[in-house]
Amino acid sequence: TTTHRIALIPGDGIGNEVIPAARRVLDTVAARHGLGFTYETFDWSCERYADLGAMMPDDGLDQLRGHDAILLGAVGYPGVPDHVSLWGLLIPIRRGFQQYVNLRPIRVFEGVPSPLRDAGPGDVDLVVVRENVEGEYGEIGGRLGRGLPEEMAVQEAVFTRKGVTRVLDYAFALAERRGGRLTSATKSNGIIHTMPFWDELVAERAAAHPEVAWDQEHIDALAAKFVLDPRRFDVVVASNLFGDILSDLAAAVAGSIGIAPAANLNPERDFPSMFEPVHGSAPDIAGRGIANPLGAIWSAAMMLDHLGHPEAATHVTDAIATVLAKTPVRTPDLGGTATTEE
Ligand X SMILES: CC(C)[C@H](C(=O)O)[C@@H](O)C(=O)O
d(CA 202, CA 196): 10
CB nearer its own copies, residue 252 or residue 321? 252
The site that binds ligand X (CB under 6 A) totals a number of residues, namely 7
**What's the closest the beta carbon of residue 85 comes to ligand X, in angstroms?**
8
Q: Tell which positions 229-248 bind ligand X, by CB under 6 A.
A: 244
Instruction: Report yes or no: 12 and 74 within 8 Å, Cβ to Cβ.
Output: yes
Under DSSP, is residue 216 helix (H, G, I), strand (E, B) or coil?
A: strand
Q: Which does 100 bind (CB under 5 to 8 A by kind): ligand X, its own copies, none?
A: none
CB nearer ligand X, residue 120 or residue 190? 190
Q: Which H or E element spans position 28?
A: helix 15-33
Residues 56-95: x/- map of binding to ligand X (CB under 6 A)?
------------------------------x---xx----
d(CA 79, CA 97): 28
122 interacts with ligand X by CB under 6 A? no
Backbone angles phi, psi at 43, to 5 degrees: -90, 25
155 interacts with ligand X by CB under 6 A? no
**What's the closest the beta carbon of residue 195 comes to its own copies, in angstroms?**
8
CB nearer its own copies, residue 109 or residue 198? 198
17 interacts with ligand X by CB under 6 A? no
Positions that interact with its own copies (CB under 8 A): 76, 81-83, 85-87, 91, 113-118, 136-139, 141-143, 145, 148-162, 187-198, 218-221, 223-225, 227-228, 240-241, 244-245, 247-249, 251-253, 257, 280
Residues 164-203: x/- map of binding to ligand X (CB under 6 A)?
-------------------------xx-------------
Angle at 221 (CA atoms; ends 217, 225), nearest 5 degrees: 95
Q: What is the dihedral of CA 116, 120, 125, 128, to 10 degrees?
A: 10
Angle at 231 (CA atoms; ends 282, 174), nearest 5 degrees: 80
Instruction: Report yes or no: 196 and 187 within 8 Å, Cβ to Cβ.
Output: no
Instruction: Report yes or no: 14 and 291 within 8 Å, Cβ to Cβ.
Output: yes
